[in-house]
A and B are shown apart, each in its own frame.
Chain A
Amino acid sequence: MTMDIRKRNHVHVTGNGEQTIVFAHGFGSSQQAWKQVVKAFEEEYKVVLFDYVGSGSADKHAYSSARYQSLEGYAEDLIEVCDDLKLTNVIFIGHSVSGMIGTIAAGKKPELFRQMIMIAASPRYLNDEGYHGGFDEESISGMLDMMEKNFNEWAKYLAPVTSKNEDRPELAQNFEQQLLSNDQMIAREFAQATFLVDMRAELKRVETPVVIMQPSDDTIVPHEAALYLANEFPDSEFVVLQATGHNPHISHPEEVIKYIRKYIAVEAL
């Protein structure tokens, strides 16, 4: 069976240049989140944007609980998107959980990335003995409950973007109805895959150079967890952003752009 990966993952390729940058979004987000950052790189780089299956405008029919019950499935998405475009040696920029999804992909296919830049990433969100992840199980399940209570409203925001028929609101409404049943489960499963991940043991094996960009007051990823990444990745640099919050690429795009330029492995020609 041939699968149209570009359609499945709503892949967008823009920009000019020899070197490719792949941007990967985080949990509860989509490629839209990179809008402001991407603009700065399109002139000099080839830029690849995509949505993980179950997020944004990716094909919801491609979702299966079995494949996406852990981050492995999302890493498969990332690898398949790169393979489909015949990409190797790309610069990977991942926000939040995409840092670890990229790490899994790099473990499976080391030639895929020449460098990984992770923004607000964490190897494990749950606290453990001698490790401060920021959350206990209770707060994770509280978050899942919160998603459930908020879901109906949240889906409304998603609907017009995904159906792209702003002039025909009735379409959005139908779409919204479908979203309500499917997406709630998908979002919950993605949340579980994300917040129950533990990648600590895998970090030492990653040979790809990594840049960790950590916002100065990230309410999701504690400073210690980000530092843990920087210490464990064999080849890493650690950058603390002035930006606060978990979404600096949205809230402080200029600073994020500045540091990506500074640390990017290959200067644009």
Chain B
Amino acid sequence: MDTQLYYAPCGFIITEPDGRIIEANEMISKIIGEKSSELKQRHITSLLTVPSKLYFQTYFSPVISLYKKVEEMYLTLETSEGPVPVLMNAQERDEQFEYVFVKMKTRDDFENGLITAKRQVEKILEDTDYANGELQKLLAELESKREEITEANSRLENLAMIDPLTSVRNRRYYEEVLTHFLKKSEEENFDFSYLILDIDHFKKVNDEFGHPVGDQVLQDLAWKLEGEIRSDDVLIRFGGEEFVILLSGIQDKLAVKIADRIRENIEISEWPHSPITISIGVSGAQKMDTKDSIFKRADEALYYSKKNGRNQVTLR
């Protein structure tokens, strides 16, 4: 090796293709901390730290055999003063390998700082991603809970509008549906008729056969009335033994006919304990009607039916 190369300000090594060192210059022996003569015959990897050995063994041979050279391989040398980072270039020439090593302590510290910062950023991004994912999950959960509640509420609302004894709509529903019918009649030229029905001498049924039978009669009647109306009509248990039917799209004259048919069907239908008849008051919806006004007319009509001998229909 010529003098200039021997004392060059970079480490220089020549090896056999199998990695055994033929010559090493002054600088490399200075970095390693051993005499250059002692480096002879040692394997090039014996100068490396364990991680560098692993890396070198994995990548050096494949690359140099393909390209006859290796550039800028970052490695750390095992020295008496601990690991020393170096950048290595190598080439294959005349069936020997030549290596140059340049110390890069300051650069390496700088790069390590960058890597640490990069890892921190990656960690933060990862954490943020994770937190975001969790948040999305919670939001989705919240949304599905909200849907459940809405559904449960509408179920409850429906339940609250049904009379538990007869399973037909109750007074609460009546308030809503009558408002709706009146509004529709005012805005859309929609006809409907209001029937109020009352069981004749219902008190006697209760007194004679007991309340359970009375309840049975109410249930049977509700069932039979349900069979008398169409899906657009509304049947309501108004309270006690009183029912209301709203006949959708029906004017009062036709309503009377329907009411009379209902009355007759109830009268001739079979009842387990005693025959049942009903009295009905009918009123067609009029302009400017309110819930009270239409009810009042029908109720007066019912009163008349009762007073006039029961089991009959009166229009008012």
Question: Which A residues have a C-beta under 8 Å from some C-beta of B?
Answer: 26-30, 32-33, 135, 139-143, 145-150, 153-154, 156-157, 161, 195, 217-220, 243-247, 250-252
- What is the minimal beta-carbon distance from A119 to any residue of chain B, in angstroms? 13
Cα–Cα distance between A195 and B72 once the two chains are bound (Å): 25
| Pick from A150, A217, A219: contact of B59, CB under 8 Å | A150
- Beyond A28-B58, A28-B59, 13 additional contacts (C-beta under 8 Å) are A27-B58, A135-B50, A135-B54, A142-B50, A142-B52, A147-B55, A150-B73, A195-B54, A219-B57, A220-B58, A247-B57, A247-B62, A250-B65
Query: Which residues of chain A come closer than 8 Å to B56, judged between CB atoms?
Result: 219
Question: Which 10 residue pairs are nearest across A and B when measured between Cβ atoms?
Answer: A142-B51, A139-B50, A247-B61, A246-B57, A28-B58, A143-B54, A146-B55, A143-B51, A153-B72, A149-B74
CB proximity to A under 8 Å, residues B62-98: 62-63, 65-67, 71-76
| Pick from A142, A157, A245: contact of B19, CB under 8 Å | A245
Contact A146 B45 (CB under 8 A): no
Contact A153 B73 (CB under 8 A): yes
Cα–Cα distance between A195 and B55 once the two chains are bound (Å): 12
Knowing A150-B74, A220-B54, A244-B18, the reply to whether A32 touches B61 (Cβ < 8 A) is: no
Cα–Cα distance between A255 and B259 once the two chains are bound (Å): 111
Query: Which residues of chain A come closer than 8 Å to B76, judged between CB atoms?
Result: 146
**Pairs across A and B, CB under 8 Å, 30 listed:** A29-B62, A32-B66, A135-B54, A139-B49, A142-B49, A142-B52, A143-B54, A145-B115, A146-B52, A146-B55, A146-B74, A147-B55, A150-B74, A157-B66, A157-B67, A219-B43, A219-B56, A219-B57, A220-B58, A244-B18, A244-B19, A244-B43, A245-B18, A245-B19, A245-B43, A245-B61, A246-B57, A246-B61, A251-B17, A251-B19
B53 at the interface (CB under 8 A from A): yes
Q: What's the interface size class on B, roughly?
A: 20 to 34
Query: Which residues of chain B come closer than 8 Å to A142, judged between CB atoms?
Result: 49-52, 54
Cα–Cα distance between A161 and B67 once the two chains are bound (Å): 10
Contact A148 B115 (CB under 8 A): yes
Cα–Cα distance between A149 and B55 once the two chains are bound (Å): 11
B111 at the interface (CB under 8 A from A): yes
Cα–Cα distance between A157 and B49 once the two chains are bound (Å): 24
Cα–Cα distance between A46 and B73 once the two chains are bound (Å): 37
- What is the minimal beta-carbon distance from A54 to any residue of chain B, in angstroms? 15
Interface flags for B9-44 (1: CB within 8 Å of A; 0: not) read 000000001111000000000000000000000010
The chain A residue with its CB closest to the CB of B19 is A245
Contact A251 B73 (CB under 8 A): no
The chain B residue with its CB closest to the CB of A253 is B65
The chain B residue with its CB closest to the CB of A147 is B55
Cα–Cα distance between A139 and B54 once the two chains are bound (Å): 8
Contact A143 B66 (CB under 8 A): no
- What is the minimal beta-carbon distance from A174 to any residue of chain B, in angstroms? 20
Contact A245 B57 (CB under 8 A): yes
Contact B55 A161 (CB under 8 A): no
Cα–Cα distance between A149 and B63 once the two chains are bound (Å): 17
Cα–Cα distance between A32 and B55 once the two chains are bound (Å): 19
Query: Which residues of chain B come closer than 8 Å to A161, judged between CB atoms?
Result: 66
| Pick from B52, B53, B62: contact of A33, CB under 8 Å | B62
